[in-house]
Structure 1
C-alpha cells in the first residue's frame, strides 16, 4: 500500500510504471538470488495494479491508519 499525493497532470499509469521499474531494479540488485523463485518468468511485478483516489478534504489520517493496520505478507 502506498499513499501518494501527485499533481493532476501526472498520469497514474506513468507513476505506477516508474514505481514498479525502479523498485524492481533495486530489489533485483540487492536480492537477486533470494527472489529468483518468486518471479513470473523474468518479471518481478505483474502488469496489474489497483488505484483508489481520494479527493480534496478526504481524511488522510483515516487512510494512513487503514494502511498501517494491513497484515504483512506471510512466508509460506
Structure 2
C-alpha cells in the first residue's frame, strides 16, 4: 500500500527529532584582496563538503567570487552552527594556505585567510530554490 503523500527528502529524522534546518553562510577573505582563484574555489568546495560530512551536514550549494564564498548548508539540530562555521573556516584556511601557498602569501597578510566575521541566515522552505539559484549564479573569477 503506497502512502497518500510523498515524503520530503529535505526533512530528516533522528531518534527524537524531525528537522529541516538550512543556513546560508558567506565567508569573506581577510582584507578582501581577491585571494580566491577558480582552482582555489573548486578545492575549497571539496574541503567544505568534507567538513560538512564530518558534522553530518550537507553542502547543498557552493559558489563564490575572488573575495568571498556562499554556502547553503543543511545541518542537524545537534550541530552548533558557530562550531560548524569555525571548522569550515579553519580547515579550509589551513589546507588552502598549504596547497596554494605562493598565491595566498601574495594576496593576504598575516596569519588569517578568512575575515574573523561571517554572514549567516536561516533559510525557510519557500526561498530555498531562489537562494540556490542566486548562489549558483555568482560570478566566478577567471
TM-score (structure 2 length as normaliser): 0.47
Match of 2:83 among 3, 9, 14: 14
CA displacement 1:28-54 (0-9 Å, x = unmatched): 111111110222411111110000111
Gap runs ≥5 in structure 2? 1-69
Structure in which a larger fraction of residues adopt strand: 2
Cα distance, 1:11 vs structure 2: 1.2
Q: How does 1:1-76 map to 2 (within 5 A)?
A: 1-55=70-124, 57-73=125-141
Distance 2:139 2:117 in 1: 21
TM-score (structure 1 length as normaliser): 0.81
Gap runs ≥5 in structure 1? none
Structure 1 counterpart of 2:16: none
Q: How many residues align?
A: 73
RMSD: 1.7
Which 4+ residue blocks in structure 1 deviate beyond 3 angstroms?
none
